[in-house]
Structures are given as C-alpha cells and as structure tokens.
Amino acid sequence: MNVTLYRVYQSPQVVQGVLLVSGVPQVVTLERPWKNNRRNVSCIPDGEYECTLTYSQKFGLYTYGVNDVPGRSGIIFHVGNTVKDTRGCILVGSRFLNLDGLAIGESQEGFNLFIRSLVSVQTFNLEVVWSGMTGN
C-alpha cells in the first residue's frame, strides 16, 4: 500500500497538504512549519517512511506511526485543527479552514476516513513531497 502526502502550501505558521491513498485523495493535512526538523516545533523532512499501525496511549485509539524520522520519534497521524494541536505530528481533516490563521476542519471525520481507507493494513509506505506554494 502506498500513501503520498503532497504538501501544497507552506507559510511561517503552517504546512497544509493532501493525503492520497493508492493515488486517490482522501484527506487534508496540517503540520507545523519546517524548522530544520526540530523536535516539537517542525514538520518532518520530505522523504520516504514506513508507517505501522500503533496504539496511541495519549489519544486512546489506533493510528499509524511514522517510523525512522531522523532524530525524531513518536510521530503519528491524529485529530486536530490547528498547529496548537500538534507538536510535530500530522493532523488530518476533511477540509481546509481559515480559523485564526490556517486550519483544517472536520478532523474527526477526516481521521475516520483515513483509518477506513487503510482497513486491514498493518504497514504502508509514506512518501512526503513538496508540491505547492509558499505564503507570507
């Protein structure tokens, strides 16, 4: 199973993207801006990663962890609407919003769709690529 995160917009505050599962757009994403892969404040570097199904104690649910991020650990996909909801993980939602800056909406619905799109998948390959524009 191949999953691609296309980062489509970056500003000093956020990175927004679209997540494709087997080439089909499924959900939108929100991450912290690029800050040299610093823990808790930066998105992860572009690249290829293996993701595995894992149980998140913090969120009390199954999700996917992003493995082998250089110098980082504990990166998962989870629910949230703004960068205040993440410390370096990948938030998923159903649509982009403008809420105190850039945000994503209907995060729980987007997360559920993401998980359903990968039903019975224990491991997948994630490709993270920059394909968008930069804002102020």
**Which pLDDT score, from 0 to 100, does residue 100 have?**
65
Quick: pLDDT tens for 33-45.
999 999 999 999 9
Name every residue whose Cβ is closer than 8 Å to that of residue 136 and which is 6 or more positions away in sequence. 11, 12
10 Å CB burial of residue 75 (0-12, 13-18, 19+) is: buried
* Whole-structure pTM value: 0.94
**Confidence band (pLDDT; 50, 70, 90) for 17?**
very high
CATH number at residue 31: 2.40.440
> Considering its fold, how many domains does the chain have in total?
1
Range of the domain at 77: 2-134
Quick: pLDDT tens for 30-83.
999 999 999 999 999 999 999 999 999 999 999 999 999 999 999 999 999 999
Name every residue whose Cβ is closer than 8 Å to that of residue 34 and which is 6 or more positions away in sequence. 10, 15, 42, 43
Quick: pLDDT tens for 97-123.
977 668 999 999 999 999 999 999 999
Quick one: average pLDDT of 20-30?
A: 96
